[in-house]
Amino acid sequence: MDVRSRNHVTVTGRTGGPVVMLAHGFGCDQNLWRLVVPELERHFTVVLFDHVGSGRSDLSAWSRERHGSLDGYVDDVLELCRELALGPVTFVGHSVSAMMGVLAAAREPDAFSGLVLLAPSPCFVDDPATGYRGGFSAEDVDELLESLDANYLGWSGAMAPVIMGNAGRPELAEELTNSFCRTDPAIARVFARVTFLSDNRADLAAVRVPTLVAQCSLDAIAPPEVGAYVHAQIPGSELLTLNATGHCPQLAAPEETAAAISAFAGTAR
Residues involved in catalysis: 95, 219, 247
Find the Cα–Cα–Cα–Cα dihedral 155, 37, 85, 75, rounded to 10°: -10
| 219, 165 contact by CB (below 8 A) | yes
In 3D, which of 193, 173, 177, 185 has the Cα closest to residue 125? 193
Distances (CA, A) of 234 to 16, 117, 211, 213: 30, 11, 8, 9
Calpha distance 38→34 (Å, rounded): 7
Nearest-5° Cα angle at 217, 260 to 179: 75
The half-sphere exposure of 36 on its side-chain side, counting CA atoms within 13 A, is 29
| 263, 256 contact by CB (below 8 A) | no
- H-helix or E-strand containing 217? strand 211-218
Give CA 34 to chain center in angstroms: 15
* Secondary structure letter of residue 34 according to DSSP: T
Tally DSSP H helices, then E strands, for the chain: 12, 7
